[in-house]
Copies of this chain bind each other. A is one copy, B any other.
Amino acid sequence: MSGPILALDFGGTKHSILYATDGRTGANVIKRVPAPPNATAAADCEAVFGMAHKMLGLSNPAAIGVSFGGPVDYNTGTVRLSHHVPGWENMPLQAMLEDEFHAPARVDNDANVAALGEYRFGAGQGCANLMYITISTGVGGGWILNGDIWRGQDGMAGEIGHTVVDPAGPVCLCGKRGCVERLASGPYLAGHARALLDANADPAAGALLRELAGGDLAAVDARLVAQAAAEGDALAQGVLAESAHALGVGIGNAANLVNPGRFVLGGGVTKSGEAWWHAVRAAARATALPEVLFDIVPAGLGDDAPLWGAVALAPAKTS
């Protein structure tokens, strides 16, 4: 038996709250709470808990599931830190929620929870072995193996963004060269385009991208690169193809190692158009052995994958 579920997504720019009174898949109301740049953990908790109480009224949820934008110790439900907001270090979020709402809670990081959401309700339905990858400001991933989140020995599994695909590549924030994240994430692919425009080796290439940016290189972002590429700009097409290729090699390597049946891709950069998807798929296929089969599909739940994953993460009643 499942009862009403309280699902929370602590994100980078906003937090989302879903009170799933209508079972786990029904049409339910989602409320958003902004996550201002100067937020603190305490303020975020107050805003999210307050909104949840408003939605619950006098009821209690049967269970609580939480997606958190940063590393979490799943076994204890303790946040290690937030990627976005100070003050979250070692916060016992699971215990806080259980005290506040008198229901069992589970907390995990957003990539794992989004993977679960896509598996249960999105583009991963029916495929019990999959990797979810978000390609956005960074590149993160989460595994579903045998229908469950695979967290690894210490909860660190899924870090495809920091696998090396080109040891001669540019230096990543992590210190290594040629990580998937350093080559395929939105800010880095935009930076690559800006650097090429700035070098101006071939003024004809990039003219359209430059125009779309109103001549202001600082305005070049991943979305503009994708738009220019779609409209025929050769420089933008090259940048996009190169970054998609790096991601595809990382996916092919992951396929050879773990042999999941599907890769589900979400995040802003996946909106870069068909050429991007084609390049990702071609590189992954060329990297994986011929016998290693998989498909690569767009996420089905968009930005709400973690929120719906949180619904699935909430512990089932055992009584």
Contact = CB atoms under 8 A, between A and B. Distances in A.
Interface stretch (A16-24, A29-37, A248-256): A248-256
A7 B289 CA distance: 30
B71 A293 contact: no
A210 to B, nearest CB: 30
Contacts of A258: 143, 150, 152, 157, 257-258
Interface string A139-161: 00101010000111111111110
- Quick one: which of A167, A174, A257, A286 has the most chain B CB within 10 A? A257
Contact of A289 (B156, B249, B253, B260): B156
A182 interface: no
A282 to B, nearest CB: 13
Interface string A225-267: 0000000000000000000000001001110111111000000
This chain: how many copies in the complex? Answer: 2
A216 interface: no
A152 B260 contact: yes
A289 B159 contact: yes
B151 A259 contact: yes
Contact of A256 (B71, B143, B159): B159
A216 B65 CA distance: 67
A84 interface: no
9 contacts: A145-B150, A154-B259, A157-B258, A157-B259, A158-B259, A162-B289, A165-B167, A166-B168, A257-B257
CB-CB nearest 8 A-B residue pairs: A152-B259, A153-B261, A157-B259, A159-B256, A163-B253, A156-B259, A129-B153, A156-B292
